[in-house]
Amino acid sequence: RPHRTTHGRRCGAVLAVAVVLVILFSRTLIQPVERLAGYAKSIPKNLNTEPVYLDRSDEFGDLNRALTEMHAELRENEERNKQLLSGIAHEIKNPLGGLELYTGLLEEEFGENGDHREYFRNISKALHNLNQTVTSYLDYARPQKSELKTVSVADVTEDVAKIIRPELDNRRIDLQVNGEGQVLGDESKLRRVILNLLRNAMEAVAAADGAIGVYISERDEQIEVSIEDNGQGIPSEDLDTVFEPYYTTSEKGYGLGLPIAKNLIEEMHGTIFVESEVGKGTTFRLVLPKAEENG
């Protein structure tokens, strides 16, 4: 019996040492890998994501530094591209204003003839459309600074619903808004994002049996906003490109609506995701920081 007791103690000691080694292994190897993997996955979703610093001098530290350097380079390239686009769009926009003004003056001067009036109207319409395109480029390349404060997602969504209600009723599309949540965000920018996503959903669904739902829920320190539709859906091969500039399936679109929405959400320190299945519908999911109780 004493021999068995000694053997049992040895086994217990070995087991305890094994547990300690597993814990140490987890802390020194598994946790750094998980943190770096999460950081790497977050970069394509949001270039403004906060870098992860491990403060290590081993191989994990080398990998961490390489990853942060790559992240910084991507952000610099994105900023340079936006500055270039902003400069080009600005140079185009300035003379556009003059062209629209002089076209209006010419229409007043020579527009009594029916044919001439139609020509001037067509020119004005083309200039207006071009001006809208350039403005979209500027919105994408040179976003305004966000003023973050406590914003009710439900109130913003209801305000947007009032704007599009006539079109919803005309096409007999059902829109449901459920849930509440206070986010730390920019009310004007959040309104633009939700309006853009709801308009996209309206284009995707069929008249009469179209359904759109906005679902607001709280998860830990974040608020999740899901905008779902039962429309035609997005092919799986296109899901990775919907937030890239100039991607569009609409003949009237410029392909900047979703990239602008992504920029606006990221400026509010949030993230936007998309899930879709052809023939069943699409869900855009916004994840934003929750406002503090005393905010």
pLDDT digits (tens, 9 = 90+) for 230-279: 998 988 888 888 887 766 666 555 567 888 888 889 888 899 999 999 98
Distance CA 265, CA 267 (A): 5
Distance CA 35, CA 54 (A): 9
φ/ψ region of 255 (left if φ > 0, alpha if ψ in -120 to 50, else beta) reads left
User: Would you say 141 and 245 are in contact if contact means Cβ atoms under 8 Å apart?
Assistant: no
Q: What is the mean pLDDT of the chain?
A: 79
CA angle in degrees (0–180, nearest 5) for 76-82-86: 145
Distance CA 219, CA 63 (A): 32
What does DSSP say about strands 174-178 and 222-229: parallel, antiparallel, or unpaired? unpaired
Distance CA 280, CA 284 (A): 14
**What are the residues facing 213 on neighbouring strands?**
176, 228
Q: Band the pLDDT of 106: cuts 50, 70, 90.
A: confident
* Strand order across the 211-219 sheet: 174-178, 211-219, 222-229, 281-289, 271-277
- Whether the per-residue pLDDT at 295 is higher than 80: the answer is no
What would the pLDDT profile of 121-162 be if each residue is shown by its tens digit? 778 777 777 776 777 666 666 666 667 899 999 999 999 999
pLDDT, average across residues 101-119: 73
* First-residue to last-residue Cα distance in the chain: 67
The pTM of the full predicted model, rounded to 2 decimals, is 0.60
Q: In this prediction, what percent of the chain has a pLDDT beyond 90?
A: 23
Distance CA 226, CA 32 (A): 32
In this predicted structure, what is the pLDDT of residue 157?
Answer: 94
Q: What sign does the dihedral 232-233-237-239 (CA atoms) show?
A: positive
Residue 210: name the closest of 170, 266, 150 by CA: 170
Residue indicated by tokens 């007999």: 172
b (16+ CB within 10 A) / e for 166-194: eebeeeebebebebebbbbbbbebbbbbb
162 phi and psi, to 5 degrees?
A: -65, -35
